[in-house]
Amino acid sequence: MDKIDHLRREIAKRESELADLKSQLAVAESEHRTQDESKAWRWPLQDHEYQRYGRQMVVPSFGLQAQLRLKNSRVLVVGAGGLGCPAAAYLAGAGVGVLGLVDADEVEVSNLHRQVAHSTGRVGMSKVLSAITYLRELNPTITYKSHREHLSPHNAQAIVSQYDLVLDCTDHPTSRYLVSDACILLRRPLVSASAFQTSGQLIVLNSPPGKGPCYRCVFPRPPPPESVVGCGEGGVLGPVVGVMGVLQALEAIKLIARGGLEAAEGEEGAGEQRVLIFSAMGDGPSFRSVRMRGRRKDCFACSAEADLTLEHLETSVDYVQFCGVAKPVAVLRPEERITVKQYCEIRAAHSEHTLLDVREKEHFSLGSIPGAINVPISRFNRGDEMPELTAAAGKDGPIYVVCRVGNDSQVAARKLKDLGFDNGGERFVGDISGGIQAWRGAVDPTLPFL
């Protein structure tokens, strides 16, 4: 596998280098053509630009002036994942002058169902380089800038200050607060979006700069850390993320085309601000718009009395601490838990017992330990009737609980004890530490794991 991974990385690297050479060739050919015609040419755009962007320039209320604004714009996309890929593709296609991408991750197979700028052949490659390889094939005539690092308080000023407009295509509250704070301090409009499972939302912030609300105005307090569930755990439909990324690009193009990148002057407000909410399920996809309150007078970042500065951002703001860190679940004592190895020995001895798998049914349906009974943790939390547990209570032997990584299983085991399934301590009720992930690693590597 190491040799295969190495060869894949080498192929991806050389594909990127080839795409770069093709891009340089296309630009050189374009420059050569325009040089021959330079004495006679009297139009503000080059011939190849009229060919490439003509279909959007003839749209009513768009025109040449909007295209010139796009050509002179510098746009930063933070995150080259599910949102960033379609957003960057449509911005590149529209002809922004400079397009920057920020991301430190590498392409994984699990990304490909929604991160459409990447490919199977570029698995293991930097997401930024992979995306730029794709974008250069789409439009080699604009400038791409790669930032192969995570945006942080230490580099935010240096990166964001190079651009006129920012798109937040990240997937965690810590990143969203950081991007918003940097945009407030550097007076950059921000187009922020998120997507999860079958829904998404879109907000345009700090627009016009110095007037519109920031992310902290809309969400002054971060969500509880235990409520933040990633795509790996909760899942996401690829087209949902794609819709939101395309809408981000659309809002960015509208801002640029209308000349909305300049900082606001005078006393006029920012006008009505709205949040767009998208739902993919039901009888059909639906959108609804919710009115958003303006700037908060007590906002930490953008109010008149705000103490936030660029120096403060770089040296003093701890976004991880602000958003909180979900503490490891520890509701069972060590003696109430068993290891995967111990459970293997129990199965080998054919000891009578009950195994409850508390993952949601969608996870369970993809693969499970033979003999497991599926009782999702959500049913425990809702207090639903669970006839499977009644059946388990009537059997002899201990009850073992398993989940994805060993967190929900502890919670479920504790609830079972509280409901009296341990017969006052006479019957063992506990969980398998490490969950399905540990089982897959130590016992059955063929078991699918998400």
Per-domain residue ranges of the chain: 2-323, 334-442
Q: Does domain 2-323 have CATH number 1.10.630.10?
A: no
Give the mean model confidence (pLDDT) for residues 237-259. Answer: 93
The answer to whether 76 and 84 have CB atoms below 8 angstroms apart is no
* 112 annotated ligand-binding residue: yes
Q: How far is CA 349 from the centre of its chain?
A: 45
Q: Mean of the pLDDT values across residues 107-129?
A: 93
DSSP 8-state class, residue 225:
G
Q: Is 412 within 8 Å of 403 (Cβ atoms)?
A: yes
Q: Is there a binding annotation on residue 127?
A: yes
Quick one: average pLDDT of 191-214?
89
Does 417 carry a binding-site annotation? no
Which whole number is the average pLDDT over 13-37? 65
Can 169 be counted among the known catalytic residues?
no
3-state secondary structure of 432: strand
DSSP-derived 3-state class of residue 324: coil
pLDDT for 267? 44
Clarify whether 85 is annotated catalytic: no
Average pLDDT for 326-345? 86
Structure tokens at 397: 């032997």
Q: Which has the higher per-residue pLDDT, 117 or 11? A: 117
Greater confidence (397 vs 293) lies with 397
Pairing assessment for the beta strands 429-432 and 74-78 based on DSSP bridges: unpaired
Which pLDDT value is given to residue 2? Answer: 66
Q: Is 103 annotated as a binding residue?
A: yes
* Average pLDDT value for the chain: 86
Q: How confident is the model at residue 351 (pLDDT cuts 50, 70, 90)?
A: confident
Give the active site residue among 85, 169, 231, 323.
Answer: 231
- Report the percent of the chain where pLDDT is more than 90: 45
Query: Regarding beta strands 273-279 and 199-205, do their DSSP bridges make them parallel or antiparallel, or are they unpaired?
Result: antiparallel
Mean pLDDT for the stretch of residues 90-114: 94
Is-contact 194 200, C-beta < 8 A? yes
Q: Consult the annotation and say whether 171 binds a ligand.
A: yes
Identify which of 13-22, 125-134, 396-405 has the greatest average pLDDT.
125-134
pLDDT tier, 106 (very low <50, low <70, confident <90, very high otherwise): very high
Instruction: Determine what percent of the chain is predicted with pLDDT higher than 70.
Output: 87
pLDDT at site 405: 87
Token code pair at residue 168: 């937040």
Q: Report pLDDT for 198.
A: 86
* Burial grade of 238 (CB within 10 A; 0-12, 13-18, 19 or more): middle
How large is the average pLDDT for residues 132-145? 95
Is 295 within any annotated ligand binding site? no
Token output for 410: 């502890």
The rounded distance, in Å, linking the Cα atoms of 437 and 340 is: 10
Identify the CATH class of 334-442.
alpha beta
User: Phi first, then psi: what are they for 288, rounded to 5°?
Assistant: -145, 150
299 in a known ligand binding site: yes
Cα 101 to chain centroid, rounded: 14
For residue 355, list its beta bridge partners.
400
Residue range 254-264: average pLDDT?
78
Residues 6+ apart with CB under 8 A from 179: 78, 151, 156, 160, 166, 168, 170, 190, 192, 215
Give the model's pLDDT for residue 38: 52
Answer with the residue of higher pLDDT: 424 or 13: 424
Q: CA 33, CA 49: separation in Å to the nearest integer?
A: 12
Q: In terms of pLDDT, which residue wins out, 197 or 234? A: 197
| Residue 76, pLDDT score | 98
Residue with tokens 């192969």: 148
Confidence at residue 262, expressed as pLDDT on a 0 to 100 scale: 66
* Residues 202 and 193: beta-carbon distance below 8 Å: yes
CA distance linking residue 26 with residue 430, whole number of Å: 64
Question: According to the model, what pLDDT value does residue 449 have?
Answer: 67
- The catalytic position among 85, 183, 323, 403 is 403
Task: Please give the structure tokens belonging to residue 181.
Answer: 């704070």
Instruction: Kindly report whether the peptide bond that precedes residue 445 is cis, defined as omega within 30 degrees of 0.
Output: no
